[in-house]
């Protein structure tokens, strides 16, 4: 591993040779600035280019402050430039996947607490996700943001690009201090973005709920780092790696990390902010939060479990599997019954986060059983799904933004038939829907297929309980995948197919040029991840090598066009073969029609379910589509129905489904906190004599404690 002073805190002599780094206390490099280093990019490393992108994003944000109300400048210049730097970050991180780790020390923190940064294969992978998705979302944002968002456009640009920069620095941080500063910066900037339209009470409520849970989770992460430093006073990750922590303290650190990062990721029951924040935020912000920000929590969990804690303990895997399965099932069931576009996608994100936690749990299980190859397979599935979910969920969220701007509707019950008026958005969204449903030849299928392979083709484990558990978990994952496909059929069918349910939908307009560029880039990502799985697995092989000391590059590389993660005789998948088969089927059907029916035209009305006067009100609604799921999983819902009577002149049917965790956990906790606040408020009498008495009694109590 290379460990040297980095730009601009590295020194060179007059002939360009590198001078040795000066070392201060605790082996920390002393910052040194040399003239001319900035002017010679040929001497920069990958980390230097990443810092350049971060600095550029911050400068773009500052430029937004000086163009506070100039919408055209902000939308047509600042956001596209930010997207271009995201594309640069994507390229730099892509090339950094195979290099040795690079480190830097930035003297921008508190005295004696500089920022330690480290670029290794794990951080490079997540930087690639941040850069790739932000490039498409920023291009879309150039055509999305309009007046009336509630926040001046220049201020939105500042908050947006600070959000991007903080996410990049989170995955670069190499000490607890830098990590927590950037983590909180990420939370605060995203809070301001969520509450962009802050004049609406519901949006204010969603923003404060998100901020509350984010800060509670941050406390868990901070306590985790406090355990990992092992009373040394050195909060660098290098020091944490070198500590031999007792199993009970390591387990406590793991549980705190699970709580802290789980709150950010949205695991059950810490998920309640997610369905509230996503509908409140502008669609590009929702795309970044779901596609990218949630993945920073996955990064943090992987970094703590496999890097900082060292060897995991076997029962951690059971906790991760249980939490992941519960989250995935809860998310997909609630997604299936939603009637709000963005709320449906928010619950779908919860489902995908559950799958990621399940994969991490399986990786931990194999790592503790000395099965590094199987652990690498499980973590490869996790990383593949991280990338795939980032692209298709970002695509779906910005697609809903285009629909929202064109129709001013978010309710599925008031949409329909938009493929006639928004064909470009419809076909782009179809790609995202197919990827989200886990259908070939898209990236969502490859990641879920790899995850199932890691369950189904695992060797015998030493415990009979574990051997029984693995097939059960695999069956539940298959159920989740089936329900996810059901949900995506509902999502796309109700919005784009059938007849328009409102007259105003005929006035809907298609996406603009900038929006098409952003959606096209994310569509390309979904297709690339589906068509080139062997190449992508080879690319992320250094990440699994770093985490568990094994990879799949050699296995999958033996069959360049055919993906065989374990052995070709056991299971394989060829996306090229599948795509050629589908193309051949369409070509054969076309040729047969041309051969036997060319020139023979017969006009007749299409089949209309036996009712020739059917209208938009008679077609299936979002509520009706989700009724079977509501009936099957009725014990898990809290729902209210509004049924019409036979004498209603304007019959109305309404079903509302609420999250039971609100009533089981959050409302009781809120009631207790409110009662305690009322009791504490009784101390505020406004009389100085009582305040002096409180002080005197507190002083006596402290003296008694010290004496005893």
In whole angstroms, what is the distance from residue 298 CA to residue 389 CA?
12
pLDDT value at 2 more than 60: no
Q: Are 555 and 564 a contacting pair, CB within 8 Å?
A: yes
633-688 tens-digit pLDDT: 777 777 777 777 777 777 776 777 788 888 888 888 888 988 888 888 877 777 78
pLDDT value at 3 more than 50: no
pLDDT value at 8 more than 60: no
Range of weakest confidence among 162-176, 581-595, 641-655: 641-655
In whole angstroms, what is the distance from residue 177 CA to residue 110 CA?
9
- pLDDT band at residue 608, thresholds of 50, 70 and 90? low
Q: What angle do CA 489, 392, 161 make, to 5 degrees?
A: 140
Residue among 101, 88, 79, 81 nearest 130 (CA): 88
pLDDT value at 582 more than 60: yes
Question: What six digits make up the tokens of 601?
Answer: 């035209």
Write down the pTM of the prediction.
0.89
Q: Are 162 and 185 a contacting pair, CB within 8 Å?
A: yes
pLDDT value at 148 more than 60: no
In whole angstroms, what is the distance from residue 188 CA to residue 165 CA?
13
In whole angstroms, what is the distance from residue 347 CA to residue 355 CA?
13
| β partners of residue 175 | 236
pLDDT value at 251 more than 60: yes
- Give, as one character, the DSSP assignment of residue 503: G
Report the interhelical angle of 121-144 vs 372-407 (nearest 10°). Answer: 10
Query: Per this entry, what is the length of the chain?
Result: 708
Cβ count within 10 A of residue 293: 20
Q: Are 314 and 369 a contacting pair, CB within 8 Å?
A: yes
Give the per-residue pLDDT at 463.
74
Element spanning 359, H or E: helix 341-368
Give the per-residue pLDDT at 78.
94
């Amino acid at each position: 591993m290379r460990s040297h002073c980095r730009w601009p805190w590295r020194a060179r002599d007059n002939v360009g040779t590198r001078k040795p780094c000066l070392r201060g206390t605790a082996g920390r490099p002393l910052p040194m600035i040399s003239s001319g280093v900035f002017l010679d990019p040929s001497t920069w490393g990958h980390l230097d280019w990443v810092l350049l992108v971060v600095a550029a994003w911050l400068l773009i944000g500052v430029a937004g402050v000086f163009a506070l109300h100039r919408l055209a400048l902000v939308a047509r210049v600042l956001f596209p430039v930010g997207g271009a730097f995201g594309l640069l970050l994507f390229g730099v991180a892509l090339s950094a996947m195979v290099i040795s780790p690079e480190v830097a020390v930035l003297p921008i923190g508190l005295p004696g607490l500089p920022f330690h940064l480290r670029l290794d294969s794990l951080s490079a992978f997540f930087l690639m996700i941040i850069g790739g998705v932000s490039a498409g979302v920023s291009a879309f944002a150039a055509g999305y943001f309009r007046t009336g968002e509630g926040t001046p456009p220049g201020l939105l640009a500042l908050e947006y690009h600070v959000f991007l920069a903080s996410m990049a620095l989170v995955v670069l941080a190499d000490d607890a201090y830098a990590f927590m500063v950037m983590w909180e910066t990420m939370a605060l900037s995203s809070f301001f973005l969520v509450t962009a339209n802050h004049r609406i009470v519901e949006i204010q409520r969603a923003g404060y709920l998100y901020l509350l849970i984010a800060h509670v989770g941050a406390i868990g992460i901070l306590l985790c780092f406090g355990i990992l430093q092992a009373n040394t006073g050195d909060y660098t990750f290098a020091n944490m790696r070198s500590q031999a922590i007792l199993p009970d303290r390591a387990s406590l650190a793991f549980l705190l990390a699970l709580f802290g990062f789980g709150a950010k990721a949205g695991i059950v029951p810490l998920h309640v902010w997610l369905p509230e924040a996503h509908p409140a935020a502008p669609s590009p912000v929702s795309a970044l939060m779901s596609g990218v920000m949630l993945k920073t929590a996955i990064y943090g969990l992987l970094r703590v479990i496999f890097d900082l804690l060292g060897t995991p303990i076997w029962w951690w895997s059971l906790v991760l599997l249980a939490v992941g399965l519960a989250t995935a099932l809860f998310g997909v069931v609630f997604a299936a019954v939603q009637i709000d576009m963005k709320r449906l996608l928010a619950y779908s994100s919860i489902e995908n986060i559950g799958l990621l936690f399940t994969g991490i749990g399986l990786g931990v299980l194999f790592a503790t059983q000395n099965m590094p190859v199987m652990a690498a397979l499980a973590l490869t599935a996790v990383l593949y799904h991280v990338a795939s979910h980032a692209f298709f969920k970002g695509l779906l969220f910005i697609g809903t933004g285009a629909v929202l701007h064109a129709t001013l509707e978010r309710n599925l019950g008031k949409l329909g038939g938009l493929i006639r008026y928004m064909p470009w958005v419809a076909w782009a969204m179809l790609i995202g829907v197919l990827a989200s449903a886990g259908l070939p030849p898209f990236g969502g299928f490859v990641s879920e297929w790899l995850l199932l392979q890691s369950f189904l083709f695992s060797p015998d484990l030493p415990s009979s309980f574990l051997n029984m558990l693995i097939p059960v978990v695999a069956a539940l994952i298959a159920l989740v995948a089936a329900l996810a496909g059901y949900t995506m059929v509902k999502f796309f069918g109700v919005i784009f197919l059938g007849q328009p349910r409102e007259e105003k939908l005929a006035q809907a307009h298609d996406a603009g040029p900038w929006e098409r560029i952003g959606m096209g880039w994310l569509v390309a990502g979904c297709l690339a991840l589906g068509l080139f799985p062997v190449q992508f697995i080879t690319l992320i092989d250094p990440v699994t090598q770093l985490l568990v000391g094994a990879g799949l590059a050699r296995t999958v590389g033996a069959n360049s066009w055919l993906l065989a993660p374990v052995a070709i005789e056991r299971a394989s998948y060829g996306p090229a073969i599948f795509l050629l088969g589908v193309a051949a089927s369409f070509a054969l059907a076309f040729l047969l029609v041309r051969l036997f029916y060319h020139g023979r035209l017969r006009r007749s009305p299409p089949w209309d379910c036996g009712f020739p006067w059917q209208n938009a009100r008679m077609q299936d609604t979002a509520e009706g589509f989700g009724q079977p799921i509501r009936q099957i999983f009725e014990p898990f819902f809290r729902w209210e129905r509004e049924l019409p009577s036979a004498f209603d002149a304007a019959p109305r049917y309404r079903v509302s489904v609420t999250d039971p965790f609100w009533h089981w956990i959050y409302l009781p906790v809120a009631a207790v906190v409110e009662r305690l606040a009322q009791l504490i408020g009784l101390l505020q009498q406004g009389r100085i004599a009582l305040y002096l008495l409180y002080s005197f009694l507190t002083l006596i109590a402290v003296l008694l404690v010290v004496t005893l």
